[in-house]
């Protein structure tokens, strides 16, 4: 999630620099409900043994409303078509 957040921020800044459009909140889809809960709710941090700086970075971007997260099931992920190996 942290890598995607960095990429989204980079794309947003690039689009603003070339004055293509003004983007307010970017939507991030994730198929891991635990990751979504940890990123959005500080109470869940107590249940994890080690919290990486990446988690705090994603949480900060959620709080400033630069990104918003939404759960999507693994079967509904469009990007999975590109990453699954053919059998």
Residue-level pLDDT, tens digit, the chain, 87 residues: 888 888 988 988 898 889 887 778 888 888 878 777 777 776 655 556 556 677 778 888 888 888 888 888 767 766 655 555 444
pTM across the whole model: 0.66
H/E stretch holding 70 reads strand 67-71
Q: Tabulate helix, strand, coil % of the chain (nearest 5).
A: 55, 10, 35
Q: What is the pLDDT of residue 87?
A: 43
Q: What is the pLDDT of residue 49?
A: 57
Nearest to 51 by CA among 42, 63, 5, 67: 42
């Amino acid at each position: 999630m942290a890598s995607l957040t960095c990429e989204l921020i980079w794309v947003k800044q690039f689009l603003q620099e070339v004055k293509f459009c003004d983007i307010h909140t970017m939507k991030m889809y994730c198929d891991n409900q635990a990751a979504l809960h940890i990123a959005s709710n500080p109470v869940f941090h107590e249940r994890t043994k080690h919290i990486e700086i990446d988690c705090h970075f994603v949480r900060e971007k959620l709080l400033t409303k630069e990104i918003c997260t939404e759960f999507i099931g693994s079967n509904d992920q469009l990007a999975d078509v590109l990453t699954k190996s053919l059998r």
